[in-house]
Amino acid sequence: MINILKKLLDFIYENKCYFCSSSKENSIFCSKCYNSVKFFDTNPVKKIDNINVYAVTFYKDVTQKLIRAVKYHNKKNLAFYQAKLMYEYWKTLDISTENFLVIPVPMFFSKARKRKYNHMDLVCEEFCKLSGYECDLKSLIRNRETAPQYKLSGKEREKNLKDAFSLTKNELKQPILLMDDISTTGTTIKEILKIFKENNINNITVLVTAIPETPSNYIY
């Protein structure tokens, strides 16, 4: 009986828009809410060590709720829509259509085990289904648990992430598309790029779903 009720509730809520609760389209992400996301133009929002960092939009409104739903609230079925937004934006960029190796920013294994999934793994897998690119979830790892970056100052962020990442192999197919959900100061990306460059991996592009409206050192 409990399982039947759970399935019934899942059916009801998965057929209502998660963002506005409309049931008109029988969709968890209605077209009105999806189309409310305003893409940035095709310029990178930042360069880190001469690597272009692109972002789809600002971390607010529907996008903020989407990211938090996938990341914290077990709404794994919304990972497809986060990936779709990223892919639709990606297609607007003047970037060669060569086959990228897509790598997500990793989560420490104990956190992923506790949460029972890594949200960016899901997003990257969906992105690769849309793009036809290869997804690599194993080559880049997080070596230890780190404190949430948003609670830390600039110097504390750097210290928090020092030696936090490594590669399980030093030869990877290039070009690489590194993906994450949010970039605030770029400290996480910078630390990962350092690991890549130490292994002579230089053909990299970075794509994130969102950046805050008042970030530091971003251009848009």
* Overall average pLDDT of the 195-205 stretch: 93
* Overall average pLDDT of the 196-208 stretch: 94
Which of 67-71, 125-129, 212-216 is the least confident region? 212-216
159-185: pLDDT as tens digits: 556 567 889 987 888 899 999 999 988
pLDDT of residue 170: 75
Residues 72 and 86 in one domain: yes
Q: Which of 216, 193, 11, 207 is nearest to 93 (CA)?
A: 207
Residue 11 has pLDDT above 80, yes or no: no
Q: Which of the two residues, 124 and 215, has the higher pLDDT score?
A: 124
Residue 71 has pLDDT above 60, yes or no: yes
Residues 138 and 149 in one domain: yes
Instruction: Give the total number of structural domains in the chain.
Output: 2
Helices (H), 91-153: 109-115, 119-131
Residues 15 and 74 in one domain: no
Q: 5 is in which domain, residue-wise? A: 1-34
pLDDT of residue 157: 52
Residues 56 and 11 in one domain: no
How far apart (Å, rounded) are the C-alpha atoms in residues 150 and 184?
8
Q: Which of the two residues, 186 and 83, has the higher pLDDT score?
A: 83
pLDDT of residue 65: 98
User: What's the CA angle centered on 19, arms 13 and 20, to 5 degrees?
Assistant: 90
82-140: pLDDT as tens digits: 999 999 999 999 887 678 999 999 986 555 556 668 899 999 999 999 999 999 999 99
pLDDT of residue 220: 39
Residues 29 and 129 in one domain: no
pLDDT of residue 160: 54
Cβ atoms < 10 Å from Cβ of 91: 11
Q: Taking all residues of the chain, what is their mean pLDDT, rounded to a whole number? A: 85
Residues 137 and 199 in one domain: yes
The reply to whether 220 falls in a domain is: no
Residue 14 has pLDDT above 90, yes or no: no
Residues 9 and 102 in one domain: no
pLDDT of residue 162: 58
140-153: pLDDT as tens digits: 998 866 545 455 44
Give whole-number Cα distances, 170 to 196, 198, 199, in Å: 8, 9, 6
Residue 10 has pLDDT above 60, yes or no: no
Give whole-number Cα distances, 151 to 36, 126, 148, 157, in Å: 29, 30, 6, 9
Asked if residues 117 and 79 have their Cβ atoms less than 8 Å apart, the reply is no
pLDDT of residue 185: 84
Residues 188 and 87 in one domain: yes
CATH number at residue 55: 3.40.50
Residues 112 and 205 in one domain: yes
194-220 per-residue burial string, b: 16 or more CB within 10 A, e: under 16: ebbeeeebeebbbbbbbbbeebeebee
